[in-house]
Amino acid sequence: MIQKPKGTYDVFGKNSKKIIYFENLFREVMSKYNYEYFRTPIFEASELFHRGVGETTDIVSKETFNFKDKSDRDMTLRPEGTAGIVRSFIENKYYSNPSMPVKIWYMGPMFRYERPQAGRYREFYQCGVEVFGSNDPLVDAEVISIPVNIYKLLGFNGIKVNINTLGDTESRLNYKKALLDYFKPHINDLCEDCKARYEKNPLRILDCKVDASKSIMDNAPKIKDNLTEESLQHFEMVCKYLDSMGIEYVIKENLVRGLDYYTHTVFEVEANIKKFGSQNVLCGGGRYNGLVSTLDGPDMPGVGFAIGIERTLLALDYENINLIDEDGLDIYISYMSENEKAFAMNLVNILRLSGFKTDLDLIGRNIKNNFKQAERLKAKYVIIIGEEEIKNNILTIKNNISYEEHKIKFDDLIEFFDTNISE
């Protein structure tokens, strides 16, 4: 038997309903925030991620799925969403849009070759936003508010934002020098990955997950001591706007995120998920003012975030939060013989177009088994179609909850269900 690849999963049954619910909620929130939908290819030129995400990141250096196409070009299955959105934004000249800022949302599969574990897969789904064209701290605050509000709508408790600033270019250069000076005498105590990061991007050392390096990280220089006045003011205003919305946050000075393109604000959103332990971060993002120009676009600021859908659904399971619509069908249609099939097919089509969740017997059950099927599908009403019903243009309708039976003229059917199902 052929099985699914390691690190992937099939979606069916209750899980499909959970995913549909979450995706629809995200779309609804995006509409209310006035964001525009973008869809980009699941594979791009490898250069896009090397330049955009960063050569020193674990994602690019260890986790990408790479291949050559038939023209011997290097391609990569996208490991994250931002770089592809930026490429599309530039290629389609969306930077000339007069309605600045441009506010974009996306949703789709991503791919990383990492060790599969609970809530983490090699093919996984993300949804996120990107905003281009405004350096106002107000945009940072709006972007942070989106996942906070989504998690609240989902029913999570203890929503909190971890936030930090990486400052502007001058701030980062100052900080890089301070980190190089600090880590130099500790170089032999760092893990192999961090030794490589020391040479290429010392800020990424702060993202180390090796416990033995924790005490070294805790005593490292802080970005706040290397910020320019402009960067400090930007961060203070972001915090002020979060305060104005009543969003709880903690300034986490070692927070740098795992991608090289971030500047100024970086953040993570976490919830109080006991089974996650200390790894209770649900999403993250930040500002990336240099990324558009790095990928050959104009010098234009950007900010965004991404939510891991699988991890969010796992958190919902751990917290026993049920998203599934258990209402079942509105109407189930049963017919007596082959002679009524065409009539039943027309009727189910009319009811569906009228907005009712409707199904019919598709395998030729007898009347007794059709009522059992209606119960399994949690149908509110069953329509019974026989020769007499068609001849007299009157349908037999049974309430599957109260067991009341009604005789309704065909022309009055929609009015009957509008009145009774909407109650």
Q: Show the domains of the chain with their CATH numbers.
A: 13-168+228-319 (3.30.930.10), 331-421 (3.40.50.800)
> What pLDDT was estimated at residue 179?
84
| DSSP β-bridge partners for residue 284 | 268, 306
Output the pTM of the full model.
0.86
CA distances from 361 to 334, 344, 365 (A): 6, 9, 7
What rounded mean pLDDT belongs to the chain?
Answer: 91
Confidence of residue 219 (pLDDT cuts 50, 70, 90): confident
Confidence check: pLDDT of 239 > 80: yes
> What pLDDT was estimated at residue 43?
97
Confidence check: pLDDT of 341 > 60: yes
Residue 337 phi, psi dihedral angles, 5° rounding: -155, 180
User: Are 269 and 315 within 8 A, CB to CB?
Assistant: no
Confidence of residue 115 (pLDDT cuts 50, 70, 90): confident
Edge-to-edge strands of the sheet including 405-409?
A: 358-360, 331-335, 381-385, 394-399, 405-409
Report the alpha-carbon angle 55-217-202, nearest 5. 25
> What pLDDT was estimated at residue 406?
94
CB-facing half-sphere around the CA of 389: CA atoms within 13 A: 25
What digits encode the pLDDT tens for the residues 255-265?
877 666 788 99
HEC-encoded secondary structure of 69-83: CCCCCEEEECCCCHH
> What pLDDT was estimated at residue 145?
98
Separation between Cα atoms, residue 204 and residue 257, nearest integer Å: 8
